[in-house]
Amino acid sequence: MTNQSTDDLTSRLQGLWLPLITPFRDGELDEASLRRLVQHYAAGPVDGFILAATSGEGMSLRADELERLVTVTCSELAVSGRRLPILLGLSGASTARLLDALDETATLPIDGYLIASPYYLRPSQRGLVQHFTALADRASWPIVLYNIPYRTGVSLTNETLLRLAMHPNIVGMKDCGADRAQSIELLGTRPAGFRVLTGEDALYHAALADGADGAILLSAHLETEAFAAVQTLIRQGDRQGALACWKRISVLTRLLFAEPSPAPAKYWLARGGLIDSAEVRLPMVEVSAELARLLDEEIERRSPPLLRRA
């Protein structure tokens, strides 16, 4: 870790970040589709990428696939001429194994890590402080905390977050706590430079109105410009314009999470031709026939189509 890398990520950890889905075809990483994804979103109003996190089915990826995912993404960003920052998603219940993962990924061309709380074990807040402190002490790149208690079974309290925010290698958090009161309190008490980005797609507008620095949104795979516009309008003080824009796209945040994510988003992207297959890896399954019908109706309702390959 260097102070420069921490400062660089802190300055860029705002705006609209995309937790990129990982395309698969016939059981393997679909590199052709991945290249199209990166090219497409690098040309739009996206401020950074998250790779191999929840939306990217990171826990289903082999080590060699993880490395290839990062390498291909960086290669396509270089071609695009746009150097977007990249966070690599890591998760696990064992501190020791995550320390090994940090060592194994230390030389990857990334800008930081997004690390979720340990799942299943439900450690105490004292245990969470020690866990993340050990990771931050070891990591070669800055860490963004990922608080998502409905997946991990444990929530980072604001007291714990404020303690961890003092670590020089912890620069922010993805807030999926789904507790608006806690989020507002944190935004009012966090130290300078500690970034808070919402990860709750349905609470996107509210979080920005409350003062969040940005968002990490699966839904922004669709109508990316409109999702970015909500932030721009709020920053410009046009609250009514931001709300009107949000109302137009908020239906997407319901449809894309009507069944386990990222299957609905992959279905939509495959229908639009940006990826070749809607394939997910077990235990994830593709969308049901009923949701496919609803997605098809919404795709047809939006004109012109959101995505089309030439």
Domain assignment of residue 137, given as a range: 3-236
- Residue 178 inside a domain? The answer is yes
pLDDT at 303: 62
pLDDT at 136: 98
pLDDT number for residue 1? 45
The answer to whether residue 253 is domain-embedded is no
Q: Where are the alpha helices (DSSP H) in 139-283?
A: 149-152, 158-165, 180-189, 204-210, 224-235, 239-255, 263-272
Q: Is the distance from CB of 172 to CB of 194 less than 8 angstroms?
A: yes
Residue 274 lies in a domain: no
**What pLDDT is recorded for position 7?**
79
Instruction: Name residue 174's beta-bridge partners.
Output: 146, 197
Residue bearing tokens 């109508």 = 223
Instruction: Read off the pLDDT of residues 78-97 as tens digits, 9 standing for 90 and up.
Output: 999 999 999 999 999 999 99
> Is residue 270 situated within a structural domain?
no
Tokens 């995912």 found at: 69
> How many structural domains compose the chain?
1
- Please state the φ and ψ torsions of residue 50, each to the nearest 5 degrees: -110, 125
**CATH assignment at residue 59:** 3.20.20.70
User: Is residue 244, in this structure, part of any structural domain at all?
Assistant: no
Query: Is 262 part of any domain?
Result: no
Question: What is d(CA 293, CA 88) in angstroms, rounded to the nearest whole number?
Answer: 34
Catalogue the active-site residues: 146, 174
- pLDDT < 70 positions in the chain: 1-4, 303-310
Domain presence at residue 280? no
